[in-house]
Amino acid sequence: MSRLIDTIREAMLAFDQEKLVEVTKKSLKEGSDPLEIINAITAVLREMGDKYEKGEIFIPHLVIVGEATKYVISKVLEPLLKDKMERKTIGRVVIGTVAGDIHDIGKSLVALMLFTAGFEVIDLGKDVPVEEFVNAVKKHDPDIVGMSALITTTRPMQREVIEALKKHNLRHKVMVMVGGAPVSAKWAEDIGADGYAENAIEAVNVAKKLVGAKN
């Protein structure tokens, strides 16, 4: 396993999707199990999270790696696993940037990190109306609703979504996590959210705790 992790690490640190695909396919030919490769990718992602927190790599690096690993897992590895079993997920997350806000990079990074950490992620995109969050909860029955707001004027929409979930008798069925530049732990507490994350790495940790608390 350590040799496999070393191979995956080298490919991921090259920040090259084609190289990661090539290494993955080569590992499969050499007899590695798809699930072992996913576990290796997850281990390296944790290492990269540590590097990000130490300032050794930056958000653009995480975005590139996130996109590459999502492609490899969903397009190369998961189809092989489906013959054996469905992909085991640790929880389902509906995520989106709130109405009036067209910033997408931070939210997309969180969605990618959650996916590679083992969550099923339904990404609603940006500028998502309150009603769309509510309808997504009704349709997908998620464990968590994640909302991003990147500007101060759109931050109140997070409160509106929570209030709408209460109105539709859905709030007790789902945990709510919020984040974004103008968002703080105090704001999350004030609006009745269950969790707050300052960055994508923390979002994964918070989501895992929320799923554990819900279940």
In angstroms, the Cα distances linking 141 to 25, 67, 77, 211 are 35, 26, 26, 13
Helix, strand, or coil (residue 178): strand
Whole-number average pLDDT of the chain? 90
Q: What is the pLDDT of residue 213?
A: 65
Query: Which has the closest alpha carbon to 177: 140, 148, 212?
Result: 148
Average pLDDT over residues 166-170: 98
CATH of domain 2-81: 1.10.1240.10
Question: What are the sequence ranges of the domains in the chain?
Answer: 2-81, 91-214
Q: Residue 177: which H helix or E strand, with range? A: strand 175-179
Residue-wise pLDDT for 68-85, tens only, equals: 988 998 889 878 876 555
CA distance 134 to 162: 9
The answer to whether the beta carbons of residues 12 and 69 sit under 8 Å apart is: yes
Q: Which of the pair, 116 or 173, is modelled with greater confidence? A: 173
CA distance 16 to 160: 40
Q: Residue 107: which H helix or E strand, with range? A: helix 105-116
Q: What predicted TM-score, i.e. pTM, was given to this entire model?
A: 0.74
CA distance 190 to 162: 11
The answer to whether the beta carbons of residues 65 and 183 sit under 8 Å apart is: no
The answer to whether the beta carbons of residues 148 and 103 sit under 8 Å apart is: yes
| Total Cβ atoms within 10 A of residue 136 | 18
**Encoding tokens for residue 207?**
């989501």
Average pLDDT over residues 175-196: 97
Q: What is the pLDDT of residue 25?
A: 96
**Encoding tokens for residue 36?**
């072992």
| CATH topology (fold) of 91-214 | Rossmann fold (3.40.50)
